Amino acid sequence: MTDQRLSVKEMCSKFDVTPRTLRYYEYIELLAPEKEGRSRFYGPREVARMTLIMRGRRWGFALEDIRQWLLIYENDGNEAQMKSWVELAGKQLDELREQRSQLDLAIKELEKHRDDVASSLS
């Protein structure tokens, strides 16, 4: 990764987020951009962290879980972080499977109700 720093605008464009999102992630200590006056710049560390944050959000992880996971790397290193990741991922997979099961049931019920109403109109 290059040592180039990204502005807020560049970071927003790269990750398709708003400046408000970046400020919030900074507020909850997920990101720590360099500050020069009122400007903020994001180096390779913050870009890598944002990549992990966005991946975690896409997979349904809570921001606090992501924050704790990132802290493990800072405090205990990569191996501890990966062990934690395996555990978190297992729990999240269970949750996603349960949500999929509930969605499948809701879809079947809605389809049946739609079909029943449609046939009563014929």
DSSP characters over 17-37:
--HHHHHHHHHTTS---EEET
- Give the separation between CA 89 and CA 3, rounded to whole angstroms: 31
Q: 46 burial class (0-12, 13-18, 19+ CB within 10 angstroms)?
A: buried
What token pair was written down for 84? 């934690």
Q: Domains along the chain? A: 1-58 (1.10.1660.10), 64-122 (no CATH)
Question: What is the residue-level pLDDT of the chain in tens, covering all 122 positions?
Answer: 446 899 999 999 999 999 999 999 999 999 999 999 999 999 999 999 999 999 999 999 999 999 998 888 888 888 988 898 899 999 999 999 999 999 999 999 999 999 999 999 97
